[in-house]
């Protein structure tokens, strides 16, 4: 394993990730200049685990996904940012690919797309297909995370160059089915509020069809069928999250309308 430290600041945001953050930090700490963890008030000792693993931990009250990642960017000492989540790991082939980018000076592009593959729960199998291919390695002088409270993605400046890396990020998203349902409930609540804030209307048609179309998309086109029983469970979970988003958007719209009518009386 190389001891070369690349001029990269790795950024993570955390809340109660003591059981997972160490693996994420271990996947990068030996070859990057610094690892920064922005914690929003963990109660499970995440801060101590992260510091012990070699990260610099900073508290920031939760402002939303995009805003928290922008705050992390502001703390970074380097122009190059590698953002990962606490439940993700940089795999060896991706690490080596990133190292090779810096062997002859600065990388050619301003940002790099990286495929994020779910590790199917209760198995060591990575999903064969992934729809998640965001920019995760980038120069913050040429791109920043959006300010959206839900859609945390890097927006590159006009004229900035990007390219695709071949290596993968492993995503260990499930602690348990209980945890997944709890997380999905919270996230779809925020998604519904964001949709309404952006003027998106709740759709009766989508309520009736989203579950079925999303299951077909997940099981067949995303390739979850390759994962056997666990792949079927993932496809059902994906479909249900899309259904929840639609009914919560409808719920919030109706409640908002009812509250407006009460005020006008």
pLDDT tens digits along 202-214? 889 999 999 999 9
- State how far the alpha carbon of 165 is from the alpha carbons of 94, 136, 137, in Å: 8, 10, 10
Residue 239 and residue 3: Cα distance in Å, rounded?
Answer: 44
Computed over every residue of the chain, the mean pLDDT equals 94
Instruction: Give the bridge partners for 6, in sequence order.
Output: 32
With pLDDT > 70 as the criterion, what percentage of the chain qualifies? Answer: 98
What domains are defined for the chain? 6-171 (3.90.550.10), 177-264 (no CATH)
Residue 244 and residue 8: Cα distance in Å, rounded?
Answer: 38
Q: Following CA atoms 237, 39, 13, 22 in sequence, which dihedral angle do they give, to the nearest 10 degrees?
A: -80
Q: Following CA atoms 73, 75, 80, 83 in sequence, which dihedral angle do they give, to the nearest 10 degrees?
A: -50
pLDDT, residue 3, reads: 61
With pLDDT > 90 as the criterion, what percentage of the chain qualifies? Answer: 79
Least confident of 22-36, 143-157, 228-242, 249-263: 249-263
pLDDT, residue 149, reads: 87
What's this model's pTM, rounded to 2 decimal places? Answer: 0.85
**Chain centroid to CA 81: how far?**
15
Q: Is the dihedral of CA 22, 28, 31, 33 positive or negative?
A: negative
Q: Where are the alpha helices (DSSP H) in the chain?
A: 21-26, 46-53, 65-75, 92-101, 177-197, 204-216, 228-264
Average pLDDT over residues 140-146: 98
Average pLDDT over residues 79-85: 99
């Amino acid at each position: 394993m190389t001891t070369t430290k690349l001029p990269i600041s790795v950024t993570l945001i955390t809340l109660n990730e003591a059981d997972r953050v160490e693996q994420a930090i271990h996947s990068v700490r030996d070859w990057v200049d610094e690892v920064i963890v922005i914690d929003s008030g963990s109660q499970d000792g995440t801060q101590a685990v992260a510091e012990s693993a070699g990260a610099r931990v900073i508290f920031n009250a939760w402002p939303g996904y995009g805003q928290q990642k922008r705050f992390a960017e502001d703390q970074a000492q380097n122009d190059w940012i590698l953002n990962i989540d606490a439940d993700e790991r940089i795999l060896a082939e991706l690490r080596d690919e990133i190292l090779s980018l810096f062997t002859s000076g600065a990388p050619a592009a301003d940002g790099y797309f990286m495929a994020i593959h779910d590790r199917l729960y209760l198995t060591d199998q990575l999903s064969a297909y992934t729809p998640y291919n965001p920019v995760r390695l980038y120069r913050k002088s040429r791109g920043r995370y959006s300010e959206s409270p839900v859609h945390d993605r890097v927006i590159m400046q006009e004229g900035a160059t990007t390219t695709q890396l071949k290596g993968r990020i492993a995503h260990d998203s499930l602690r348990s089915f209980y945890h997944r349902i709890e997380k999905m409930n919270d996230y779809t609540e925020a998604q519904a509020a964001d949709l309404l804030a952006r003027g998106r209307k709740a759709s009766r048609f989508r309520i009736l069809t989203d579950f079925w179309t999303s299951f077909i998309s997940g099981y067949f086109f995303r390739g979850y069928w390759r994962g056997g029983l666990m792949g079927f469970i993932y496809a059902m979970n994906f479909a249900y999250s899309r259904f929840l988003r639609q009914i919560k958007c409808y719920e919030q719209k109706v409640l908002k309308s009812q509250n407006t009518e009460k005020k006008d009386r």
